Structure 1
Amino acid sequence: KRAQENNENSVDRRHKRMMKNRESAARSRAGKQVPVKADLPLLCCVLLSNGIRDSLKAERRMLESFIKSKVRKQLRH
């Protein structure tokens, strides 16, 4: 009878430990998601500014190319 009680206690302890581990893992996952949600507006701003920067770089290259071609034409005449 005593062996059976020890076995039941062992199973209960194992079950409690497993449940605590699951709860801890759930808290850990939830904690990792919070900063992502909090930084979403910042991430949007960064992506937008990167897109604007890339567009401006492309526009600048086009303007520089246009100016160089105009200067070359004027030097020929």
Structure 2
Amino acid sequence: MNPMDLMKFAGKAGKFKEDHPKVIAFLKDIGMQMKEGDVLELKYIAQDGTEKVTNFRLTPADIEIIDLIRKG
């Protein structure tokens, strides 16, 4: 990622934290408990009621990214 994109990402990440404090609180809550192999599930609900769900098994890299988000 080039430096300009990195700066843009940092700004948008800060705005995301301001707009969605419950997400950051959730990540802080689970952050100390997360370990490799745990499963994180995401659910999307559209305005028309359509739902999509996915999940993934956490890797060390995933945990590192989540730590950066919750601490940053």
Bigger proportion of residues as strand: 2
Larger radius of gyration: 1
Q: In which range does the TM-score fall when normalised by the shorter chain?
A: under 0.3
Higher relative contact order (CA 8 A, sep 6+): 2
Higher helix share: 1
TM-score, normalised with respect to structure 2: 0.28
Q: TM-score, normalised by structure 1?
A: 0.26
